[in-house]
């Protein structure tokens, strides 16, 4: 329990900074929706960017409702949340080497697997709380537009999508921190994977011939158009669980054998 408290305390400042930043993004999005909602001329002008919106997984026709507009802006929620998860996952595993505390921590009468379990629990607490906070902020900032059951239904589906995708990149970060000998590289490599899959995600949205790649692109697992219609494909939930489970297994396997550089 002390390790969980220690990890929560040491990562609190970063979480607060991310929460403040994402609040500004959501507030700006809600203000922008007000301009689109009451101005049909802007809506007509935006029709020329339909291809761009398709690459983001949305459509211009969705912009007239709070949930539709939020779905178009969802990439600004998915990306920061995934980046936060990737950095949290990679740092929470490697921080003992970075802060030169590994020698003290692992001389205590506690197994590495027990330390890992507590670190994972702390990371899950912060990551899940961040997801809740983002969706709560969306609800609060968009509430002035008279939300209906469709919005709250979309928010529930968004919770599933945001949670699974952020967990995927968080555990990828943990896995790389456990495998790589140079812990400093884990964060940058995880971010490179994240950005690379996001770029592929946009490419798949434009080029139909590349649709087969959606099974290896986490951003494709929970498309906003599908969630707007109240649908989440079970195959992608299972794929997400498989990736997360594989990463967790790799973390415990490789970290037990890892030489800690202190």
Q: How far is Cα 175 from Cα 178, in angstroms, rounded to an integer?
A: 5
Q: How far is CA 243 from the centre of its chain?
A: 14
CB 152 within 8 A of CB 70: no
For the chain, domain boundaries: 2-257
Token pair in block for residue 71: 């779905």
Q: How far is Cα 90 from Cα 56, in angstroms, rounded to an integer?
A: 27
pLDDT in tens, 86-140: 999 888 887 766 655 555 555 555 677 787 888 899 999 999 999 999 999 999 9
CB 97 within 8 A of CB 261: yes
pLDDT in tens, 11-60: 889 899 999 999 999 998 888 887 776 666 666 666 655 556 655 555 55
């Amino acid at each position: 329990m002390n390790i969980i408290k220690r990890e929560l305390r040491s990562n609190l400042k970063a979480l607060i900074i991310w929460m403040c930043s994402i609040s500004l993004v959501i507030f700006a999005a809600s203000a922008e929706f007000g301009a689109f909602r009451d101005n049909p001329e802007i809506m007509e002008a935006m029709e020329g960017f339909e291809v761009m919106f398709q690459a983001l997984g949305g459509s211009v026709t969705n912009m007239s409702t709070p949930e539709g507009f939020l779905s178009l802006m969802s990439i600004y929620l998915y990306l920061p949340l995934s980046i936060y998860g990737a950095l949290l996952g990679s740092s929470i595993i490697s921080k003992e080497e970075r802060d030169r505390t590994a020698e003290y921590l692992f001389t205590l009468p506690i197994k590495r697997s027990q330390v890992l379990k507590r670190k994972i629990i702390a990371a899950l607490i912060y990551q899940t709380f961040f997801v809740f906070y983002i969706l709560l902020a969306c609800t609060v900032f968009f509430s002035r537009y008279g939300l209906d059951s469709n919005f709250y239904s979309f928010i529930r589906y968004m919770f599933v999508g945001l949670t699974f995708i952020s967990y995927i990149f968080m555990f990828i970060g943990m896995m790389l921190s456990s495998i790589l000998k140079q812990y400093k590289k884990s964060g940058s490599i995880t971010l490179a994977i994240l950005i690379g899959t996001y770029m592929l995600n946009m490419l798949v949205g434009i080029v139909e011939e590349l649709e087969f790649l959606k099974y290896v692109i986490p951003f494709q697992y929970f498309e906003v158009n599908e969630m707007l219609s109240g649908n989440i494909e079970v195959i992608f939930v299972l794929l997400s669980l498989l990736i997360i489970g594989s990463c967790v297994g790799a973390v415990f396997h490789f970290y037990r054998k890892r030489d800690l550089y202190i």
